[in-house]
Structure 1
Amino acid sequence: MCTPLLTNDGQGTLESSPGLSLDAEYQVVSLLAYPAGPVLLHLVIDDEHSLAWFDSRTFITVDGTVPDSWEARIREGGTLDFAPASWLVPGFWEDYYDGDPAAAETVKTELGKMMGTRREPGLSDLSAPMTAMELRSAAEQLATIRATDPWKGLMLVLLHFIKELTVPMKLQPILETADAYWTLGKGTPDTLESATASCRDYLDAFETHTHLDNPETKFALALLCIMEPLGDADAMSGTADWFAGVVWDIW
């Protein structure tokens, strides 16, 4: 998780940095440690396609799982490199940035392995319908694991289940907005408010008395549960109750 955004010399902090968002989580795809020097993390940045190196002091660990493909190499001078074995071949990154198609395909393949098997801390055991009380309990546990507030914990738990459902095409952009807000820290409360309005517009196209009669509108109702940026204990209880009441029969 990105915590303070450091200046290039590591002596100051920034309010923003290209490719990074404060409090967002990032996949580390390799690591470089210099003797008596910085530890650099190779990350998939906010656009989810590009790679960049950042000082490790900008981050804290939320999942300590080491990718199965990583190997260690000690370079000349004692620099320690952890990365997929294919990336450790001398000259590999020069070939990649020179546009070598084979190197590009190798990077794509290795990223697929790492990103495809990424575990979400605190969510791996959420694989079956839960009561409202169980949802709140899972949210509190997740909030503790990720050092965040219980409301965000609940939003992440509900989002986890919603993403397992079939998404109506018109609601896909709304789900993506909520996903980016809660999991990547991208967007603002106004962004969620705009997405909420779009979701309600979708529901307005159906007769109100039919909202609980078909999977598409039930999905929209469940989606509204993760569109509020803030909530207290009462809101958590009501949201968990409502979610549990509409989502499990379309699970």
Structure 2
Amino acid sequence: MIVRCIQIISPATGKVVTDHPAIRVGAEYPVLEVSTTARRVELRIPELLDTTDYRDRPGLWDAAMFTVVSSRMPSCWVAELEDGRLTLAPREWQRAGFWEDYFDGVPAAVDDYDRLKAEILADA
């Protein structure tokens, strides 16, 4: 799934802003994960914020910021419903603590992220 950013909603304030260092209006992004609750839909988008660390910083962004360019769903996504949250993502990413491990640089989580991100991009 590929989306195009049409507006930026600050994750900190929830208000529309003109710019953000991690994302820009008009750019297209692969969707790595979709997470929904009764009140919110978020898309996980890869972002590279720290140029000294060449790992992605995949952040969750309000789906209202985007329009769909390609609706092709990655073949590695599975649906998970837990505590009222529906998530579409690779099964390995849905385990408790995965994102904490990834951001902490745990090698197995980094490897899972890199491998599955490549699968998602190949399906896009």
TM-score bracket, shorter-length normalisation: 0.7 to 0.9
Q: Is it true that 1:107 corresponds to 2:113 in the alignment?
A: yes
Cα displacement (A) at 1:57? 0.4
Q: Which residue of 2 aligns with 1:23?
A: 26
Question: What is the CA–CA distance in structure 1 between the aligned matches of 2:20 and 2:110, rounded to whole Å?
Answer: 26
**Contact kept? 2:6, 2:65, Cα under 8 Å:** yes
Cα displacement (A) at 1:99? 2.1
Question: What is the CA–CA distance in structure 1 between the aligned matches of 2:56 and 2:87, rounded to whole Å?
Answer: 22
**Contact kept? 1:21, 1:46, Cα under 8 Å:** no
Q: Deviations over 1:3-34 (max 9, x none)?
A: 01123443x32111121111110000001101
Match of 1:41 among 43, 46, 55: 43
Please tell me whether Structure 1 or Structure 2 has the larger radius of gyration of its CA atoms.
1
1:87 is paired with a residue whose SS is helix
The higher-RCO structure (CA 8 Å, 6+ apart) is: 2
Q: Which runs of structure 2 are paired with 1:1-251 in the superposition (5 Å)? A: 1-8=4-11, 9-10=13-14, 12-35=15-38, 37-45=39-47, 49-76=56-83, 78-118=84-124
What TM-score, normalized to structure 2? 0.84
Report the residue type matching 2:78 in the other structure. E
Change (3 A) 1:24 1:64: same
Name stretches of at least 5 consecutive residues in structure 2 with no aligned partner.
Answer: 50-54
**Contact kept? 2:75, 2:123, Cα under 8 Å:** no
- The CA RMSD over aligned residues, in Å, is 1.7
**Contact kept? 2:72, 2:123, Cα under 8 Å:** no
Q: Which runs of 4+ in 1 moved over 2 A?
A: 7-10, 45-50
Question: What is the CA–CA distance in structure 2 between the aligned matches of 1:2 and 1:19, rounded to whole Å?
Answer: 12
Q: Which residue of 1 aligns with 2:52?
A: none
- Considering fraction of residues, name the structure with more strand: 2
Identity among equivalent positions (%) equals 27
Question: What is the CA–CA distance in structure 1 between the aligned matches of 2:116 and 2:63, rounded to whole Å?
Answer: 22
Name stretches of at least 5 consecutive residues in structure 1 with no aligned partner.
Answer: 119-251
When the two structures are aligned, how many residues end up with a matched partner?
A: 115
Cα displacement (A) at 1:46? 5.9
Change (3 A) 1:51 1:100: same
Q: Deviations over 1:106-134 (max 9, x none)?
A: 0000011111332xxxxxxxxxxxxxxxx
2:119 is paired with a residue whose SS is helix
Question: What is the CA–CA distance in structure 1 between the aligned matches of 2:86 and 2:111, rounded to whole Å?
Answer: 25
